[in-house]
Structure 1
Amino acid sequence: MTAQDRGLAALGLDGVPALQPLTYPGLPVTVPSLLTDAELLPLLAQRGGLGAWTVDGAGHRPHRSLDEVLTGLGRAPVAGRLPVLAVGSNASPGQLSHKLARLGVPGGVPMVPVRLRGIGIGCSAHIGRAGYVAAAPYSSAEARAALVVSWLDEAQLAAVDATELPNYRRVRLPGDAYGMSLPSGERLGEAYVYVSARGLLADPVTGAPRPGGGDQAVLLDALLDASPRLRELLGPDAATWVRRAAADPELRARGTLLFAEEGWVLPWTELPVPPGRARLFYSLLAGTVSSPLSS
């Protein structure tokens, strides 16, 4: 297999939602992989920690460990990196590569689907710079999923942080509380995740968080249909929404304010919440119990 075969374009993973907003959240990594500047190389899971996993790809000797390949590329080994969980487009190698390249930060990022519990995916209650409504996590006792974790070095972490602030905050998730499990069967001790600082959009029927991470055009069209004021501002359709919003910060701010004025915003801006307490938060939302934080 040639190096070109491992390129993002050849793999169909070169899409960048920041440049094509209606493709948000983009196509995620589905198997353990190492994202270099130009390739997506398979990682072969084994016991002994992520750094000991082997890299399978053109230009690399068989059975070379991930740490060996990273250091050979002049990048930090796994021990010098922070695991960051993606609930939206950071799981897409095309998007992540774009975020790093635009700030001149070298690639070399392990990206691994990790099984966990307790994290649901909603919609952040704001309109992002690219014009789309991005995903955001929340606590959900029933949720079970495989979400991509990327191990970022110091420069990569700073670059990704810069794309998330001020609308998101990075918080720590303890691995035991969320049952994080690597494909090797080993437990992941911790990960970090970006939590919306703007709250979450509510489902108008149930009052629970509106599901996020799906078809962006469907989401935006549904929001336009639900609000004549939003339709007047950004409509009549999803394509018009992202074109107008991406071009005008004032329109994004006005649209974000309309979310609150329509009564769609859940002020859920904290994680982690113990997963067993998720039902309590639904009760608080419905007004059936008093908040322990209000005393």
Structure 2
Amino acid sequence: MKDRTLEALGLADVPAEQPLIYPGRPVAEPGLLAGGELLPLRVRPRRLGAWYVGRRTDRHPGPDQQLDQALSALGQVGTGQRHPVLAVGSNASPAQVRNKLMRLGLPVAVPMVPVRVRGIAVGCSAHIGRAGYVAAAPYLVPDAETTLVVSWLDAAQLKAVDDTEIHYHRAILPGDRFPLTMPSGERLGGAYIYVSVHGVLVGPDGRPRPGGGDQRELIAALLQDSARLRELLGPDPQTWVLRAAADRELREQGTRIFGEEGRLLPQTDFLPYVDDSAEPRLYDELPPLGDSLSPLA
């Protein structure tokens, strides 16, 4: 098997460190993020824990294992004790997930699987994140069908991700209302998703702006549409992210401008699904791992 490091796969860039690449490169096929590697998962018509992990590499010369066996060999809990979490933005990037977990010294062992989701579309959160980018956020579209990455997180990993999502509520999407179909054809009973507390951005036509695309194009469009944003953060996307990342007050002013100029659409449809047990804390309170790791949105 070829080298499965994130670097070799072209998946190593971290959006938190390079804001204009947001949301980063997502997982395209089922895999197990294990340290700095993304090991392939072989889809089977069985539960996720029985899928096989390809481990025949120079670092892992042994035979393939079932996923739950591989997690146990890493000293981690199996899939039955993990929480499925849908990613609409950079949490679909294995490098970003690794960055978040490493910052807290948590094990980097996460199954990540693209899943078809009905009823959800991806827009842009109506806020400016700490790294300077405008992050993605979900909104409801009954007939939409979107492929989103689901990560299976243990309790400590889930809390760690909660603590980075200070502009979001964690919601529980029931599978009967939002069908979630695995590559095996299995339907999930539900999954968590992070919903922006600010709502989603709308364009000049009043419709939600598509999210998850080219960050440079998005910021350029926002600057073009608003003289106040150009004055505050312009004239170009590079200047925007540099100024925003360096100054919390500028980020907050820019976020207020979205509302004052009528550029946001509240997302009250998600309120019945919000998980009140999720209590994110300010990312500033988290212990630093090192100077090379940047704060997250």
TM-score by length of 2: 0.88
CA distance in 1, matches of 2:272, 2:89: 20
Q: Tell me what 1:293 maps to.
A: none
Post-superposition offset of 1:60: 5.8
Query: Is the aligned partner of 1:261 residue 2:241?
Result: no
Q: Tell me what 2:189 maps to.
A: 189
Within 5 A, what are the aligned runs for 1:22-41? 22-41=20-39
Query: Is the aligned partner of 1:14 residue 2:12?
Result: yes
Q: Is the 8 A contact 1:173 1:272 kept in 2?
A: no
Q: Tell me what 1:280 maps to.
A: none
Q: Tell me what 2:216 maps to.
A: 217
Within 5 A, what are the aligned runs for 1:209-288? 209-271=208-270
CA distance in 2, matches of 1:27, 1:35: 14
Between 265-274 and 18-27, the greater mean CA deviation after superposition = 265-274
Structure 2: which 5+ residue stretches go unaligned?
274-297
CA distance in 2, matches of 1:272, 1:117: 18
Could you say if the C-alpha distance between residues 87 and 148 of structure 1 is closer, same or farther in structure 2, counting changes exceeding 3 Å?
same
Query: Is the aligned partner of 1:176 residue 2:190?
Result: no
Q: Tell me what 2:43 maps to.
A: 45
Post-superposition offset of 1:218: 0.5
Q: Deviations over 1:85-130 (max 9, x none)?
A: 0000000011111111111111110000001211011110000010
CA distance in 2, matches of 1:195, 1:157: 15
Could you say if the C-alpha distance between residues 155 and 108 of structure 1 is closer, same or farther in structure 2, counting changes exceeding 3 Å?
same
CA distance in 1, matches of 2:62, 2:35: 18
- Matched positions, count: 270
Query: Is the aligned partner of 1:108 residue 2:106?
Result: no
- Alpha-carbon RMSD across the aligned residues, in angstroms, is 1.4
Larger radius of gyration: 1
Structure 1: which 5+ residue stretches go unaligned?
275-295
CA distance in 2, matches of 1:49, 1:188: 10
Between 18-27 and 63-72, the greater mean CA deviation after superposition = 63-72
Q: Tell me what 2:286 maps to.
A: none
Q: Tell me what 1:139 maps to.
A: 140
Post-superposition offset of 1:176: 2.2
Q: Is the 8 A contact 1:245 1:251 kept in 2?
A: yes
Q: Is the 8 A contact 2:140 2:269 kept in 1?
A: no
Q: Is the 8 A contact 1:139 1:272 kept in 2?
A: no
Q: Is the 8 A contact 1:195 1:269 kept in 2?
A: no
- What is the identity percentage for the equivalent residue pairs of Structure 1 and Structure 2? 61
Q: Is the 8 A contact 1:202 1:209 kept in 2?
A: yes
Residue type matched to 1:199 in 2? Answer: G
Q: Tell me what 1:80 maps to.
A: 81
CA distance in 2, matches of 1:11, 1:111: 15
Could you say if the C-alpha distance between residues 183 and 60 of structure 1 is closer, same or farther in structure 2, counting changes exceeding 3 Å?
farther
Post-superposition offset of 1:270: 4.1
Q: Tell me what 2:279 maps to.
A: none
Q: Is the 8 A contact 2:202 2:263 kept in 1?
A: yes
Give every structure 1 segment of 4 or more consecutive aligned residues whose post-TM-superposition deviation is greater than 4 Å. Answer: none
Q: Is the 8 A contact 2:84 2:152 kept in 1?
A: yes
Between 101-110 and 60-69, the greater mean CA deviation after superposition = 60-69
Post-superposition offset of 1:258: 0.7
Post-superposition offset of 1:61: 3.5
Q: Tell me what 2:65 maps to.
A: 64
Residue type matched to 1:21 in 2? Answer: P
Q: Is the 8 A contact 2:5 2:38 kept in 1?
A: yes
Residue type matched to 2:175 in 1? Answer: G
Could you say if the C-alpha distance between residues 149 and 180 of structure 1 is closer, same or farther in structure 2, counting changes exceeding 3 Å?
same
Residue type matched to 1:31 in 2? Answer: E
Whose helix fraction is larger, Structure 1's or Structure 2's? 1
Could you say if the C-alpha distance between residues 247 and 121 of structure 1 is closer, same or farther in structure 2, counting changes exceeding 3 Å?
same
Q: Give the 3-state SS of the residue equivalent to 1:220 in structure 2.
A: helix
TM-score by length of 1: 0.89
Query: Is the aligned partner of 1:201 residue 2:209?
Result: no
